[in-house]
Amino acid sequence: MSNATDKPTVLIVGAGLGGLMLGALLEKSGVPYTIFERAAAVKPLGSGMAVGPTLLPIFQQLGIYDEFLTIGKYLAFTPFYKESMESYRPTDHRAIEEFTGYAQYLVARPKLYELIQKLVPAHKIHFGKRVLNVIEEDDRVTVHTSDNDMHVGDIVVGADGAYSDVRQCMYDQLKAKGQLPKGDQEDLPFSCTCLVGQTKVLDSDKYPIIKEPVCVFPTILGDDKPFSWSVMSTAQNTLCWSVIHHLDSVTSKAVMEQRFRSSENSEWGAHPAQAMCDETRDFPIPLGEGLSTLGDLYDLAQKDLISRVMLEEKVFSTWYHGRVVLTGDACHKLHPAGGQGAVAAMHDAITLANLIYSMPTRTAQEVTAVFREYQAERYPAAVAIFKNSQLMSKFMEKGVIGAVVLYLMTHMPMWLWRLALSQTVKFRPQVGFMSPIPLKGTVVPIVSPSEKKARDVFEKQQHPHCAASV
């Protein structure tokens, strides 16, 4: 970048994991930004998530790797059970360490959120700021918020979830011009709802299962009911859970008469969940005495932190227009069976941060060029993850396809399983404008175009005399 005045001002809408990661990266790069969040406060909602080599090098660059290891729990196996507690062969994740030099860890989503939030100065996150409109001119873009405020910048990033207000504003403008593809005008479809939550800190003497040094992560498939459920132990001596209800058919928010857009924390908000708790509380779990059913977990949780959510699945084709761009769930909503939704959102942030850092000017043409490169890099990855997540979700469903996928997962030869695992860790991006982390493991990662572009600019800035003499 030429000088400080050439750096664009970025307005990030949405303070989820993806929005926070983008803010943290822009903070490191010196690009001015502000984050707006429609919720008055972010509650510690959600379940557990697996984090491994696709993010850990970034955590090293950001200086939070060691702290992450204190909040994550080593994840080696994922056992599967029938409802009768008859077990299938568990999946073994340990080869990932050989491939990458990094292990997999289970972390409670709220703890990961807190860790990344520390990287963003508090005065740069504004809560209670729902976006009502986005007005674009050639040399700037203005965000109008619900508190009658206006915010002017060079780029608006819609990181505000599956029911994105930024996407709605952008799509309304494109639709009025007849430029919005038909597929992007259709409602978000979903075929599952999900109950997520976490217990309070448990007494290790009363519940010995939480003393296990390795994450306990059983997944149970309902025998004669359209449910599957998982339980995860955390480093904080809590148990997270995720209970998925597989619906008979694909539906949408409109059909279910949900009103997520007017609620706080739309994807992970505290929506009425008691009915689903009542319906599933007798479902068995293999955790020992005192923890024999899901109801035992519900009774050990703070009730307002149990959430019922919809598991939408869609990759939109329009990710940007003018000075507005979408990231995370706003442009690709993924089924959690693949465990990649939050990771994909943070990868979006990494790509976008690399490209914004590399921008030579703030012109409309340059902004469009950056957004085009961003979608070219991330869209194929989002589609691949989307398809993988759908496939992974099939083994939890009833029917022939589910039975075939389950059989393959639990009977796959180790050589084929290792090959499949090696493909999942090939994309391990790094931040191009920070000192690189030495590569480890036997699987060489793919270097992303955005990382290389940022790295070239970074190196020239680190050694300006060398660049001038070439």
Domain boundaries, the chain: 4-43+109-186+314-393+424-469
pLDDT single digits (tens) 244-270: 988 877 776 665 544 444 444 444 444
Strands 125-127 and 33-37 turn out to be parallel
pLDDT in tens, 179-211: 999 999 998 888 888 899 999 999 999 999 999
pLDDT on residue 264: 46
Q: What average pLDDT does the segment 6-35 reach?
A: 96
CA-to-CA dists, residue 131 to 11, 141, 165, 172, angstroms: 11, 13, 6, 14
Phi, psi of 228 (to 5 degrees): -140, 150
What's CA 38's distance to the chain center, in Å?
A: 18
Under 8 Å between Cβ of 75 and 103? yes
- Give per-residue pLDDT as tens, 161-170: 999 999 999 9
The chain-wide mean pLDDT, for the chain, equals 89
Average pLDDT on 283-307 reads: 94
Confidence check: pLDDT of 463 > 80 = no
User: pLDDT tens across 206-231, in order?
Assistant: 999 999 999 999 999 888 888 999 99
State residue 467's pLDDT score.
Answer: 47
Backbone angles phi, psi at 411, to 5 degrees: -130, 10
List beta partners, residue 242: 196, 230
What pLDDT, on the 0 to 100 scale, is given for residue 253? 64
Write out the DSSP string of 33-99. Answer: EEEEESSSS------EEEE-TTTHHHHHHHT-HHHHHHH-EEE-EE-EEETTSPBPPPEE-THHHHH
Question: Distance between CA 61 and CA 300 in Å, rounded?
Answer: 37
pLDDT at 224: 83
> What tens digit of pLDDT does each residue of 366-379 get?
999 999 999 999 99
Q: What pLDDT, on the 0 to 100 scale, is given for residue 379? A: 96
Q: How many CB atoms lie within 10 A of CB 417?
A: 16
pLDDT of 133 over the 70 cut: yes
Question: What's the mean pLDDT in 441-468?
Answer: 86
Q: What is the spatial distance between Cα 166 and Cα 131, in angstroms, rounded to a whole number?
A: 7
Rounded mean pLDDT, 83-88: 89
Model pLDDT, residue 455: 96
- Of residues 341 and 153, the one with the higher pLDDT is 153
CATH, range 4-43+109-186+314-393+424-469? 3.50.50.60
pLDDT at 283: 97
- What pLDDT band is residue 271 in, cutting at 50, 70 and 90? very low
Please, which residues have CB within 8 angstroms of residue 371's CB and are 6 or more apart in sequence? 319, 320, 325
User: What pLDDT is recorded for position 256?
Assistant: 56
Contact 180, 174 (CB under 8 A): yes
pLDDT category of residue 28 using cuts at 50, 70 and 90: very high
- The reported pLDDT for the residue numbered 14 is 96
How confident is the model at residue 74, as a pLDDT?
Answer: 97
The token pair that represents 466 in the structure block: 């060398």
Q: What is the pLDDT of residue 27?
A: 98
Would you state the pLDDT for residue 266? Answer: 44
Of residues 370, 381, 390, 375, the one with CA closest to residue 453: 370
Q: Looking at residue 385, what is its pLDDT?
A: 85
Q: Which residue has the higher pLDDT, 39 or 251?
A: 39
Distance CA 63, CA 27 (A): 13
The reported pLDDT for the residue numbered 89 is 80
At residue 210, the pLDDT reads 93
More confident residue, 36 or 413: 36
| Over residues 378-407, mean pLDDT | 74
Task: Show the tokens assigned to 423.
Answer: 């493909």
pLDDT digits (tens, 9 = 90+) for 41-81: 888 788 899 999 999 999 999 999 999 999 999 999 999 89
Q: How far apart are CA 249 and CA 104, in angstroms?
A: 34
The pLDDT of residue 424 is above 60: yes
Concatenated DSSP letters of 92-144 = E-THHHHHHS--EEEEEHHHHHHHHHTTS-GGGEEES--EEEEEEETTEEEEE
